[in-house]
Amino acid sequence: MRVLIVKVSSMGDVIHALPVVRDLKRFRPDIEIDWVVEEAFAEIVRAHPDVTRVLPYGLRRWKKKPFAREHWQQWRTFRDSLQAQPYDAVFELQGLFKTALLCRIARGKSFGFNRAAAKEPLSACLLDAALPIKRDTHMIEQLRSVPAQALGYTVQGLPDFGLDLSQIETAWTPPAQPYAVLLHMTAAAYKLWPEANWIELARALLRKGVTPVLPWGSPVEQERAARVVQAVGGGVVAPRLGLLEWGQIMQGAQAVVGLDTGLSHLAAATGARTVFLFGATPRWRIAPYWSLRHATLGEPGHWPAVADVMAALKALGATA
């Protein structure tokens, strides 16, 4: 049996779909699983040992120059690769028209969200089978339910993300131990915790003998990280690294404190001690719930205080 998962973005959403792979392997140990994913997140899916083939999808890049000849050639190459393999089932886990269209192109019966559950209800019209989903459950459980309904098995146990980072080589390691990774960045400005809070948190960690390490992914984020380090007179602004490099660094951290952003979800999926800060999004839909090594703080409109974060870190055993 061979199946295809279509879950292209964003980073946190791709991570939330990873437990589907182990569910399928429990159901059919001999199953082969392919996955269509945005090329920026392909390395994450490749780190799962039970994924047979990863098909990188470059739509984000192609849209920047939609009339470029090389982009059309890349699209045709991707399309041919997608159609080269027949599938017993194709799982559309995005709920969007563009990804449902990919399922129509693929060779296999497609399953996904019905109109009531899909982000774009019209996407359900392109599927061979649009399935009912319990929308009041965690997003991971919604994703797990699609293949379970399609193939007739029961989802069992807590999610298993299955990532193997043991072979990842990092070009940089934090210069001081112990350290905490502070994920101060997010793609959406409304999800940002005030910079003054990051400064206060970094100071509190330094007083506990823990070095703050601040990643960044854009010039704005790099400047913010530098301001935090300068304000507290300590800590490290990390160089730019790959996603899986950060996964390994976060596994070795005393703790990770992060916003609702992709790297925070990666930290939680790899088992790192993680404190999630929510103040703009409902945490019941996306926060980690599968381990005692995670804490979630805040609600929409109510950001946690630094004292709450430090108390959570102490409860997790990350600080004295």
Q: How many residues does the chain have?
A: 320
| Mean pLDDT calculated for residue range 13-41 | 98
- Burial of 73: CB neighbours in 10 Å, binned 0-12, 13-18, 19+: exposed
| Mean pLDDT calculated for residue range 32-57 | 98
Residues 6 or more apart from 108 whose CB is under 8 A from it? 3, 4, 86, 87, 88, 89, 90
Cβ(224)–Cβ(216) below 8 Å: yes
| Mean pLDDT calculated for residue range 239-257 | 97
The average confidence (pLDDT) of the chain is 96
The structure tokens listed for 314 are 């102490």
| Mean pLDDT calculated for residue range 239-268 | 97
User: Residue 235's pLDDT is what?
Assistant: 96
Residue, of 72 and 320, whose pLDDT is higher: 72
Residue 320: is its pLDDT beyond 90? no
Q: What is the pLDDT of residues 183-238, one digit of tens each?
A: 999 988 999 999 999 999 999 999 999 999 999 999 999 999 999 999 999 999 99
User: Residue 28's pLDDT is what?
Assistant: 98
Q: Say what percent of the chain tops pLDDT 90.
A: 95
What structural domains and CATH numbers belong to the chain?
2-151 (3.40.50.2000), 179-315 (3.40.50.2000)
User: Residue 187's pLDDT is what?
Assistant: 87
User: Residue 104's pLDDT is what?
Assistant: 97
User: Residue 258's pLDDT is what?
Assistant: 98
13-29 CB burial, b ≥16 within 10 A, e <16: bbbbbbbbbbbbbebee
pTM reported for the whole predicted model: 0.96
Q: What is the pLDDT of residues 100-159, one digit of tens each?
A: 999 999 999 999 999 999 999 999 999 999 999 999 999 999 999 999 999 999 999 999
Q: Say what percent of the chain tops pLDDT 70.
A: 100
What's the CA gap between 7 and 15, in Å, rounded?
Answer: 10
| Mean pLDDT calculated for residue range 168-175 | 92
Cβ(37)–Cβ(59) below 8 Å: no
What's the CA gap between 250 and 183, in Å, rounded?
Answer: 10
What's the CA gap between 60 and 290, in Å, rounded?
Answer: 32
pLDDT band at 57 (very low <50, low <70, confident <90, very high): very high
Cβ(301)–Cβ(274) below 8 Å: no
Q: What is the pLDDT of residues 10-20, one digit of tens each?
A: 999 999 999 99
Q: Which of 82, 66, 80 lies closest to 6 in space, CA to CA?
A: 82
User: Residue 176's pLDDT is what?
Assistant: 83
Q: What is the pLDDT of residues 68-94, one digit of tens each?
A: 999 999 999 999 999 999 999 999 999
What's the CA gap between 7 and 40, in Å, rounded?
Answer: 13
| Element of type H or E holding 33 | strand 32-38
Where does residue 220 fall: left (phi above 0), alpha (psi -120 to 50 degrees), or beta otherwise?
alpha
